[in-house]
């Protein structure tokens, strides 16, 4: 084996060990935390300190903590982490009522991943309660999506909103291992690609918001959905929609901006008044030149589906998100 190959393998091993140590350190730090479930999350369309925005952000931290605990269990075998996941899942499934607002509920991805990582070792009651919750979540989004198939004039049924619905549906159904529901979600994924991705690879959200920020926000959930679909033998990255568009085309359209060979001033001609409110409030990322590093997680996810994106992902973000290899 050549010297360069030894170096690459060694660097990968060091990175792996570092990531594992980081997960264990985070999980250990929060091992005694208690859950903070609330009946409804709401951050969409609001600024910090408005309504229940702050309360929702605090509550959503439970999902990351749960995923970290699940990962720590997979790495260490320490039952305390499984018991923590069990406690948090039970608390949330007892309290939360789905609103079917995908922007408010998009962070349930980490909640679902925590369940997927630990489902076989959870208590029977928690496992059943979580399965019932995920089925309710998935079916609610599926029914609403099919009911609005012809709502082409309503942006939230073809924009990033629907991409986040597709992610939540796909992860939930993958967790349930339900092939019949996955067929329904697969169809909705292809419909979203057809509605959202132009033949040149640009997306609806770029046209509407004039922001690469929203291109990333639109493609991240679709890419995560494609990762989840692999357990059913799907290759959603390159699958063509009725208009010939693919998720890969959309990712490739963004590549020159991510590489820095093209520049863009975000939100200059946005059609959304809320974008201007966030810029006026001084929230970062809602004005000025788009920073390519914001696409780091997106291209690490894409690299899980096609290794051709690895070099770009590595350039944007030195190491992949440490939870990603476990999906």
Element (H, E) at 276: helix 273-280
pLDDT at 3: 40
Take residue 53 and report the two structure tokens written for it.
Answer: 């925005």
Confidence of residue 150 (pLDDT cuts 50, 70, 90): confident
pLDDT exceeding 90 applies to what percent of the chain?
Answer: 91
Residue 8 has pLDDT above 70, yes or no: no
Take residue 35 and report the two structure tokens written for it.
Answer: 């859950």
Residue 274's closest CA among 72, 46, 98? 46
Collapse the DSSP code of 203 into the 3-class scheme (helix H, G, I; strand E, B; otherwise coil) and give the result. Answer: strand
For the stretch 79-109, pLDDT in tens is 999 999 999 999 999 999 999 999 999 999 9
pLDDT at 94: 98
- Domain coordinates in residue numbering, the chain: 21-120, 132-321+323-327
Confidence of residue 6 (pLDDT cuts 50, 70, 90): very low
Query: Angle 179-196/212-229 helices, nearest 10 degrees?
Result: 150
The arithmetic mean of pLDDT across residues 136-165, rounded, is: 92
Residue with tokens 């070099």, as numbered in its chain: 311
Superfamily for domain range 132-321+323-327: Chondroitin AC/alginate lyase (1.50.10.100)
What does R_g of the chain's alpha carbons equal in angstroms? 20
Collapse the DSSP code of 265 into the 3-class scheme (helix H, G, I; strand E, B; otherwise coil) and give the result. Answer: strand
Residue 11 has pLDDT above 80, yes or no: no
Q: How far apart are CA 23 and CA 72, in angstroms?
A: 6
Confidence of residue 153 (pLDDT cuts 50, 70, 90): low
Take residue 90 and report the two structure tokens written for it.
Answer: 């039970």
The arithmetic mean of pLDDT across residues 117-140, rounded, is: 98
Say which residues have a Cβ less than 8 Å from residue 110's Cβ, sequence separation at least 6.
63, 64, 66, 67, 323
pLDDT at 17: 84
Confidence of residue 235 (pLDDT cuts 50, 70, 90): very high
Average pLDDT of the chain is: 93
pLDDT at 327: 87
The arithmetic mean of pLDDT across residues 264-292, rounded, is: 94
Burial of 140 (0-12, 13-18, 19+ CB in 10 A): middle
For the stretch 155-187, pLDDT in tens is 899 999 999 999 999 999 999 999 999 999 999
pTM, rounded to two decimals: 0.94
The arithmetic mean of pLDDT across residues 16-43, rounded, is: 95
pLDDT at 7: 32
């Amino acid at each position: 084996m050549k010297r360069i190959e030894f170096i690459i393998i060694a660097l990968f091993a060091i990175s792996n060990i570092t990531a594992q140590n980081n997960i264990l350190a985070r999980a250990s730090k929060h091992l005694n935390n208690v859950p903070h479930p609330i009946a409804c999350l709401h951050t969409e369309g609001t600024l910090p300190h408005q309504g229940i925005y702050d309360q929702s952000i605090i509550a959503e931290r439970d999902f990351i903590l749960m995923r970290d605990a699940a990962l720590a269990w997979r790495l260490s075998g320490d039952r305390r982490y499984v018991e923590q996941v069990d406690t948090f899942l039970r608390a949330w499934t007892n309290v939360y009522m789905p609103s079917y607002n995908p922007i408010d509920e998009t962070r349930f991805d980490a909640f679902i991943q925590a369940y997927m990582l630990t489902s076989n070792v959870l208590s029977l009651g928690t496992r059943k309660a979580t399965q019932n919750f995920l089925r309710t979540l998935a079916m609610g989004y599926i029914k609403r999506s099919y009911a609005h198939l012809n709502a082409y004039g309503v942006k939230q049924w073809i924009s990033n909103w629907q991409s986040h619905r597709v992610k939540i549906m796909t992860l939930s159904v993958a967790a349930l291992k339900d092939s019949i529901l996955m067929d329904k979600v697969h169809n909705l994924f292809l419909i979203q690609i057809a509605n959202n991705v132009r033949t040149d690879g640009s997306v609806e959200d770029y046209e509407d918001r004039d922001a690469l920020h929203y291109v990333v926000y639109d493609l991240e959930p679709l890419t995560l959905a494609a990762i989840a679909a692999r357990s059913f033998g799907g290759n959603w990255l390159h699958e063509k929609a009725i208009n010939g568009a693919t998720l890969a085309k959309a990712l490739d359209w963004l590549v020159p901006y991510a590489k820095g060979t093209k520049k863009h001033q975000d939100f200059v001609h946005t059609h959304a008044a809320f974008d201007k409110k966030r810029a006026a409030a001084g929230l970062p990322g809602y004005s000025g030149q788009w920073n390519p590093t914001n696409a780091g997680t997106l291209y690490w996810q894409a690299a899980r589906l096609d290794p051709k994106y690895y070099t770009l992902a590595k350039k944007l973000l030195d190491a992949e998100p440490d939870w990603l290899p476990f999906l």
